[in-house]
């Protein structure tokens, strides 16, 4: 289902203030969300054709892609997350760059081979049945398409957990590892490049025609 947010100026301003405070807090602890995503985006280049982002979240990656001039589809099964992402784009006057959908990454409503690029950043640690998402990304990605995947490493999770603990709650961690994800796509014949920055593991996988 396509998500068409109705946003007020007050909501946009209040969300931006919260977003700025939140990113500032993590940056003060050494975890710079913007720089990490710039690193990930740099490794994706060149990025051509249709793009699907799975897991809009708060819109950190969504916003960076839109600022870089890309127009694409972004999905999340959480309407509140989609709204936060939309609010961040609206503040930068980039909302028209993104088509949002309420959709579960484990059951995508797109045809086989619909996208040239699929991007998943900081989602895997939230997902228990991750194999379903991996299977769906392979299905909707075209041959010679590019799959960009990244998630927090142990050091980043320690920082995030410390913040959440101070706030009185815990942060999800399904335990999905880079090695598991990498192995899954290697078995399908993908060519994979492995990168890392201070707080993330990053995999860039290219889908090859199976013999």
pLDDT, tens digit (0-9, with 9 covering 90-100), for 156-170: 999 999 998 888 888
Buried b (16+ CB within 10 A) or exposed e, 64-97: bbbeeebebbbbbbeeebbbbbbbbbbbeebbeb
What are 37-95's pLDDT values in tens digits? 999 999 999 999 999 999 999 999 999 999 999 999 999 999 999 999 999 999 999 99
| pLDDT confidence band for 211 (50 / 70 / 90) | very low
The mean of the pLDDT values for the chain is 94
Return phi, psi of residue 100, to 5°.
Answer: -95, 140
pLDDT of residue 5 exceeding 90: no
SS3 151: strand
Q: How far is CA 107 from CA 41, 56, 184, 193, in A?
A: 26, 16, 18, 26
Q: pTM of the prediction?
A: 0.95
What are the chain's domains? 2-206 (3.40.50.150)
Q: What is the pLDDT of residue 175?
A: 84
Assign 3-state DSSP to the chain and report helix, strand, coil percentages, each to 5: 45, 25, 35
pLDDT above 70: percentage of residues in the chain: 99
């Amino acid at each position: 289902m396509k998500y068409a947010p109705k946003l007020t100026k007050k909501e946009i301003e209040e969300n931006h203030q919260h977003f700025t405070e939140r990113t500032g807090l993590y940056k003060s602890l050494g975890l710079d969300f913007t720089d990490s995503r710039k690193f990930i985006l740099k490794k994706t280049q060149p990025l051509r054709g249709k793009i699907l982002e799975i897991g809009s979240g708060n819109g950190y990656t969504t916003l960076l892609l839109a600022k870089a001039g890309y127009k694409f589809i972004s999905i999340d099964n959480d309407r509140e997350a989609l709204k936060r992402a939309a609010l961040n784009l609206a503040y930068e006057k980039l909302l028209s760059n993104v088509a949002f959908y309420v959709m579960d990454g484990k059951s995508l409503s797109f045809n086989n081979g619909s996208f040239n690029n699929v991007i998943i950043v900081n989602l895997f640690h939230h997902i228990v049945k991750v194999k379903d998402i991996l299977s769906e990304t392979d299905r909707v990605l075209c041959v010679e398409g590019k799959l960009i995947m990244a998630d927090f490493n142990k050091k980043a999770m320690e920082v995030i957990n410390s913040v959440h603990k101070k706030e009185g709650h815990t942060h999800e961690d399904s335990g999905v590892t880079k090695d598991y994800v990498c192995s899954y796509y290697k078995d399908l014949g993908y060519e994979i490049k492995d990168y890392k920055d201070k707080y993330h593991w990053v995999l860039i996988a290219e889908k090859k025609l199976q013999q």
